[in-house]
Amino acid sequence: MTNSANHSAAYIPSSQSITVLSPATVANMVCGFDILGFALNEPNDELTVSISDQPGVEIINQDDFDLPTDAEKNVSGAALLAMLEECPDIKGFRLLSNKQIKPGSGIGSSAASAAGPVVAANHLMGNRFSKEDLVRFAMFGEKVASGVKHADNIAPAIYGGVTLIRSIFPLDIVAIDAPPLHVTIVHPQIEVRTADARQILKQNVLLRDAIKQWGNIAGLVAGLIQHDYQLIGRSLEDVIIEPVRSILIPGFNDIKSSCKEAGALGGGISGSGPSIFMLSETAETALAVESAMQSVYNKIGLDYHTHVTTINTTGVKIK
């Protein structure tokens, strides 16, 4: 843990501010529940932070999501308050939040809200904190959103690329050198709250299922490191979480089968849903996968949004 005594450097005057683009993320990567995630190049939240002479965190929302402005009840506010605890020379922060990632979409809306402000504030203060420190602060925001301090969305948002959370306590984050991957996401216009999606999970797992899951996680990590697309595809299987959570998402099985037929390597629920992601080796396949997703939801008659993008290798970016 960082010692706050080492972080009392002079800061940039409060009249200056920094605007960042904080990325959407995909957590779990099918079999890697709470331990694997990756950042997306689109969409992004736009967040502007300045240092304030007023104590605490002032939040001004510039979107239509009607999120709390009480810092302790706000994901961004909780993350910045945690940072302030280790910044005795800073009184407070002011945040302008313009979210483009819809809360409850399953592509890391809360993580973007938590990661972006602490990265911006860190730049204002001369980058006194490490990336691991920033993840630690941002996890306080995730606790506000879901009741649990998890980092599988936070870590890729801050580190970029694909990350493995080997441990939460103590925090141990491993960046994975993944190959180029194209990502297709469909967001059916329903909401699945992370806290609700956690409540329905089984608390006990059969040993045979655990063994199969461990093999898939190891295979997926090995495939990413070795840039082996076929091994990645074979390993994108979840026998523990997906069978339970998929019942919350209309058309899930049809989406998954039609996308595989269109050439996707594989995919599944993004975070706790309702978004579904698919990985492809080429841009052409990713677009074909988008068409397959659209066809399924057009038949069902359910409104949706799609994104075709790539993995963001840098994380939160200064605008």
Indicate the SS3 state at residue 152. Answer: coil
62: Cβ contacts below 8 Å, ≥ 6 apart: 96, 97, 98
* Candidates 48, 163, 194, 285; catalytic one: 194
- Tell me the β-bridge partners of 278: 184, 267
* Cβ-contact 173, 189 below 8 angstroms: no
Q: Give yes or no: 290 in active site.
A: no
Task: Enter the DSSP assignment of 309.
Answer: E
Question: What stretches of the chain show up as alpha helix (H) in DSSP?
Answer: 75-84, 109-124, 131-146, 154-159, 194-199, 207-226, 229-235, 242-245, 252-261, 283-300
Residue positions counted in the chain: 319
Helices 131-146 and 75-84: angle between axes, nearest 10 degrees? 140
Task: Enter the DSSP assignment of 186.
Answer: E
Q: Give yes or no: 142 in active site.
A: yes
* Candidates 46, 86, 142, 281; catalytic one: 142
Alpha-carbon span 185 to 109, nearest angstrom = 14
User: Active-site residue numbers?
Assistant: 142, 194
